[in-house]
Each structure stands twice: as structure tokens, then as C-alpha cells.
Amino acid sequence: MRTIDTVDAVGTVLCHDLTRIVRDTVKETAFRKGHVVRREDIEVLLSMGKTRLFVWDLGRDMVHENDAVRALADHVNLGGGGFDLTEAKEGRLDVSTRERGLFLVDVPLLGEVNDHDEIGVAVRQSGVHVSPGDKLAALKIIPLAVSKEMLASVKKTVGDRPLLEVRPYLPLRAAVVATGSEVYHGRIKDGFTPVVEEKLAAYGIEVFSKAVCDDDTDEIAGRVRDALDAGAGIIVCTGGMSVDPDDLTPGAIKASGAEIVTYGSPALPGAMFLMAYIGDVPVLGLPGCVMFGRKTIFDIVMPRIAAGLKVTRREIRGLGHGGLCLSCQSCIFPNCGFGRAEPYSM
């Protein structure tokens, strides 16, 4: 930083904000830190009483903060397109999505990028559902200018790896297998299937098949296989997930030929959740909490399933830390800690 006569300041970068005050008329920040002084600015600055300025000279090897943050956005390879960038201002720009899908971050790469001095990339949590217009990240250049060498180092670090991605949801067709003698015999109305339909619709998933089964292992297993044969891309079984003698759904899912990933989860609500696959088709056993809980483990895993990614035992078991829903009066999920302790990475 150095002091310079205002008349000689064209092309230099202001190191501080400059306020313009006109009595009883206006008080405003006429020029902000980081502004590159233009020839037409000189008379305005002199009229403000600024005959000398604190400035930073941009040498050949330095890049102004706004140009640098735009270069940073190019270097971090926003994967697959579908992103909107705000105008660079004071060394910052924000990234939002034009797509609906599963937001993913290469978390180790993010750490490598942020290990560079003078820049900061802040992102929302990986593994969450996002909709068009949602803000995903903010990129910031910290000083007024950075070296071309530093930006080149970021580019080399990233290489061809995308830092951020919104993975679109697959056009899946779902089958719901509702279990329970009380529903099968008409003693109560099935209130579970409509809840599942509504939740799946948020991901563009259509429920094309609905079945109601008695508490019978062979019947439930047969309905699961029927759904698979009919082309279901996801099969959801409701009810019968506890440890009572009549709760046969977990055994029936296994009898259908499904490979159980996990039966039981440390996330609450969702302790009796079952995750399984028949080939690549996910089969879910949903406990009763999904019917009345605003957000449960079902809401944590569904974005990943809808995007076509396999849910692993490690991911489910890792939900113990952060897996306690606080049942807030005003729910802001997924913008909270529920299910976010172990971030899904790309």
C-alpha cells in the first residue's frame, strides 16, 4: 500500500472505502475498497476533498480481486453445468443451481482448495436435496489482489475433478407394499401409503403400484417380487418393522431375495429402518415413525437413492453423530444438523 496524488491514481486499486457526504442530502460509500480508479473518477474524488489516496498498484503478476474470483470459479470445475454465478463484487461471487437434484461436494478436494492462502470457498453441506435457485457456495478472494501464481496453483490442484455437482434424480417408478392385518382386513385405513407417495413426489418419483398384505411372510415377499417383475425402480415396504411377533416385514424382504444392507439405524426417528437391494433396485422397510414424523431417516437417504447412488452400511451407521432430530417447532431441514455429521462425498 502506498500514498499517491489523486490526479495520478488512474489504474490503481483503492485500499479503503471512501464516503461522500452532502449536508442534508446524501451520505454514501461512493467508492469501495478494491475499486480500480478510472479517469472519470478523478473529478468526483477531488470534489470529495480527496487529493491523496491509499492505493495498491497491480503489477504484471497480480490479479484484481473480482477478476481473481471469476478465475477461481473457472478453476474449481463446477461439474456438469447447471450453475448460476452472481456478479463478482468485492472479491466474492455466489453459486446457485438451476437444477433439482442431489448436491454433492468433493470434500477432500475442498480442503485442498482452501489450503491455498488468500482464498476461501464455503459450501453448504454435501448430500442434500436442492431445488432451482438454491444457493450452494460462495467463493471469496480475501485481499485486494492475488498473484497469478497462486491461481495457477489452484488450477493445478483441482485438475479435472469437479468440486461441486448437482446430480439429477432418475425417472424412477416406485411400488409400495403396505403390511399389517389391521389394514388388510379393513379395520383401519391405510394412512402410510399417502405419506410415502407425497415424500416420493418431491423427487419426481411416481408410485405406479400399491399392494396391501396380511402379516404373512410369503405374501409380503411375493408382493415384493411382483413389484420387481413389474419394473419398479424402488420398492417401499411400510409397517411390520418392529420386533413384535406379528412384525414380519424384515424377514419377508430377506425372503424376497434382497440383500440386507442394514436393519436398524442409529438415527432417530428411524431406529427400525431397513435398507436392502435386489440387484440395483433399493428395497426399503419403513418404520411407523415415517408416517407421523416430519423428518426421519427416510428424508436423509432418499435424495441419494433418487439420484441413483447406493446407500452403504457405513453411511447409515455413521448417522449416530448428528442423527438426533430435535423436533423443532419450525422445521428447517435440510438446513440443520439432522443427518449431516458424515457428509456424503462425490
252: amino acid identity, one letter? A
Sequence spans of domains, the chain:
2-56, 62-168, 173-320
Q: What Rg, from alpha-carbon coordinates, does the chain have? A: 28
Cell of 189: 385405513
Q: Grade residue 342 by pLDDT with cuts at 50, 70 and 90.
A: low
Each residue's pLDDT tens digit, 83-101: 999 999 888 999 999 999 9
Q: Grade residue 24 by pLDDT with cuts at 50, 70 and 90.
A: low
Each residue's pLDDT tens digit, 165-186: 999 999 999 999 999 888 888 8
pTM: 0.82
pLDDT for residue 83:
93
pLDDT for residue 112:
96
Q: Does domain 173-320 have CATH number 3.40.980.10?
A: yes
Q: Does domain 2-56 have CATH number 3.30.499.10?
A: no
Q: Which residue has the higher pLDDT, 229 or 47?
A: 229
Q: How far is CA 166 from the centre of its chain?
A: 8
Each residue's pLDDT tens digit, 178-223: 998 888 888 989 899 999 999 999 999 999 999 999 989 999 999 9
Q: How far is CA 30 from the centre of its chain?
A: 37
CA neighbor of 295 nearest in space, from 321, 264, 334: 334
Task: Give the percent of the chain with pLDDT over 70.
Answer: 94
CA neighbor of 33 nearest in space, from 50, 3, 56: 56
Architecture of domain 62-168: Alpha-Beta Complex (3.90)
Q: Grade residue 79 by pLDDT with cuts at 50, 70 and 90.
A: low
CB atoms within 10 A of CB 266: 18
